[in-house]
Structure 1
Amino acid sequence: MKTRTTTLLICVLTLMCSAFVSGQEEEGKHLFILSGQVNMALFDYESFFTPLVEEEFGKDNVIVVRSALGGQAIRRWYKDWKPLTGNEPKAQPALFRAIFNEVNPLIKGQDLKTVTVIWMGGETDAEEGFGNVYERSLKGLFQQFRDQLKREDINVVIGRLNDFGSDKKKEYVDWDMIRDIQVKVAESDDRYDWVDTDDLNDGRDENVLKIRPHNYQTLGERLFEKAIALIEKNKG
């Protein structure tokens, strides 16, 4: 009888510990912030990204916010942006504030287990010729997210500029420079990574600025895979 009672007690305690550990693992929500320019603004994230992270973590365990606008330079997000010389144009970071106008009500009172920022931009900076300050600005923007959320453990996925402007040097003078910078920044930190989009904007022998609608599913899958890999690599 004593042996049976002891065995039963051990089983009960084991189940309680397992439930406790499992509950601990599920505590907190996973926040994903998607921002940038035209290809992020047109990305149907509710069809091709959100369902993937909801399946991975559970619908009640994720918060996904997309705040993006085409035709905008990084100075519309990064508050300390400035040109290499002179004082114009000025930083106007209203688009960064717009992100947190959406994010803040959703995370109020929530315990955030992970935060992942997904950024797709650079087209306007390449066209305006501000590649010489893009690396500093991109790093500064990601630090701005850390400062805003008061946490250093933010993961970042960069959707690199596609190859649209690589052969259009007169119109997009710094296109390849910014592509290189995006990879350089992504490879400079264990919490960063990047996604190639060069094969997502072509169709009928055209090389266009915008990702083709039928390729947004592939984009979503790539962004998801990189985001999950970073979360897995940096957990604990």
Structure 2
Amino acid sequence: MDRALDFIRAKAENDRPFLAVIWFNPPHSPVVGNPRYMAQHYADLPENQQHYYSLATAVDAQMGRLRNTLRELGIADQTLLVFTSDNGPGPPVGRTFKPDARLQGSAGPFRERKASLYEGGIRVPGLIEWPTQIRSGTVIDAPCTTLDYLPTIATLLDIELPRRPFDGIDLMPLLTGAQQERGRPIGFYFRDAIALSDDRFKLIDAKQSRGRGGNDRAFDDRKFELFDLIADPGETTDVSDRHPDIVIAMKSELKTWVASVENSHDGNDYQAGKTRLFLLSGQSNMKNLDPETTFLPTLRKSFPNDTLILVKVAYGGRSISRWVPRGKIYAELLGKAKEAIEKNGTATNDLDSISFVWMQGERDHQQDATTQAYADNLRQLRRQLIDDFGREDISWVIGRLSDARVSTANWDTIRQIQVDFANGNSFAKWVDTDDLNGVNNGVHCPPEGYDEMGKRFATAAIELIQKEETN
């Protein structure tokens, strides 16, 4: 939790959104209790229970730290906080529960335990807190799953998911009361046991294979049970004989879902998209731009199935001479790009596109000589990239200097050189940044200016890529 809180504080202090995923091992085995909580709260219990219950208290305390920190930072009302468990209590089904063992979790009225597809293995409580969006005290009776996290978050952030099967749904209509039922069943597949749960009924073949692999039983040879989870959440009575039409319909849907799962398992739903390299470089305005905030999200909307490799090397107060001819900063950029390409397992020639995003020139306007050499240096920089990547089709996005020092002779000259370079080349576009530098019209931008800059850079890169790929 310490590392998570440091991460959250850093994001909050810079007014940045964040996603934090925090996994607790307790009270999973090995069950080694918290001595302080054992003594404070559970000293009158048997030692094995002291260990188990003190770990639950330790998790509770850490969640308290998290919630208190969100309040202290003033972001609790805008933060979606979710707490749940991954499965029912141990020991797993098939192993004997020993009252004197340290694993003391209970599935309550539900059938079986961890590693079972009966409710005792898969039904767990879930808590969601989002004060500005979800009314306190709301209770959702419809079944939900952690598979719903992805489509819910994607919808909230207006992110288009890749075109492939997803089992989850957007939970917000349920959480806000706009929808009362899930409307879409949840499938389960574990060690050859399979199940399908909808808003009322659950169809299950609970027989498991040994080990983690399946035993390839034919679907039509399976023996299913049907439970009414509203009337019988403990799954004590098989009602398949009473509802043959429901069994037929759910078996058909489950068979289709299992085939889809196996298709995904074989990799058929995840055919590799294109691989694209984006190089970002320049001076302080590029240094201050966080590509994770708007640049990459904008790219992902247009290229949801593609692998996007991003490399950024930028330093404040540096002339273009640090890049050409093959200066130190250029060497660093090239080295990191080659390393990232190799790490991705891709050859440079196999990249489907390379985009170079450039925001620089503030330093060069300070001297007549560097201003006069700027156009030649831009052309030299392009030639270096072509030679070092061995391809001509590198697209360029150039952020034109803002209007912070318009009417300063050299500043205006640099701006015009950037525009002329882009307008004179079909592979390039220039981006207007005049309205991004805040009310004081400074050389640097406020956070919202960099956010918009990232969007504009990404949009220009997308347009160039799409133009090249449609020709």
Moved more, 184-193 or 210-219: 210-219
Structure 1 equivalent of residue 248 of structure 2: none
Distance, in Å, in 2 between the alignment partners of 1:143 and 1:47 is 31
Measured in 1, the distance between the counterparts of 2:305 and 2:336 equals 19
1:4-36 deviations in Å (ceiling 9; x for gaps)? xxxxxxxxxxxxxxxx9x96xx55411100000
Q: Normalising by the residue count of structure 2, what TM-score does the alignment of the two structures yield? A: 0.40
CA contact (8 A) 1:195 1:223 kept: yes
Q: Provide the residue aligned with 1:194 in structure 2.
A: 430
Distance 1:131 1:221 in 2: 28
- Do the aligned partners of 1:164 and 1:208 also contact (CA within 8 Å) in 2? yes
Moved more, 193-202 or 99-108: 99-108
Unaligned runs of 5+ in 2: 1-267
Residue 227 of structure 1: which of 440, 449, 461 is its match?
Answer: 461
- Among candidates 53, 59, 67, match of residue 299 of structure 2: 53
AA partner of residue 198 (structure 1): D
Which residue is 1:135 aligned to? Answer: 375
Task: Return the offset for 1:101.
Answer: 2.1
Indicate whether 1:214 and 2:214 are aligned.
no
Partners of 1:158 and 1:182 within 8 A in 2: yes
Aligned to 2:36: none
Task: Please say if 1:121 is aligned against 2:363.
Answer: no
Q: Is the 8 A contact 1:34 1:66 kept in 2?
A: yes
Question: In 1, distance between residues paired with 2:333 and 2:435?
Answer: 29
CA displacement, residues 57-86 of structure 1 (integer Å, 9 cap, x when unaligned): 237511011110010000000117xxxxxx
Q: Structure 1 stretches of 5 or more lacking a match?
A: 1-19, 81-92
Amino acid at match of 2:311: V
Structure of greater Rg? 2
Report the aligned-residue RMSD.
1.9
Helix, strand or coil for the counterpart of 1:40?
helix
Q: Could you tell me how far 1:55 is from its partner in structure 2? A: 3.1
Separation of aligned partners in 2, 1:187 and 1:120: 16
Q: Deviations over 1:71-121 (max 9, x none)?
A: 0000000117xxxxxxxxxxxx00001102211111124120000000000
Q: 1:29 aligns with which of 240, 260, 275?
A: 275
Q: Which TM-score applies when normalising by structure 1?
A: 0.78
Displacement of 1:128 after TM fit? 2.3
Q: How does 1:59-208 map to 2 (within 5 A)?
A: 61-79=307-325, 93-108=327-342, 109-110=345-346, 111-129=350-368, 130-167=370-407, 169=408, 173-203=409-439, 206-208=440-442
Q: Percent identity?
A: 37
The one-letter amino acid paired with 1:181 is I
Contact 1:37 1:120 in 2 (8 A): yes
Q: CA deviation at 1:141?
A: 0.4
Aligned length: 196
- Which aligned segments of 4 or more residues in structure 1 are displaced greater than 2 angstroms? none
Structure 1 contact 27–113 (Cα < 8 Å) conserved: no
- 1:27 and 1:48 map into 2 onto residues whose CA distance is 22
Question: Contact 2:438–2:449 at 8 Å: present in 1 too?
Answer: no
- Distance in 2 between residues matched to 1:27 and 1:228, nearest whole Å: 16
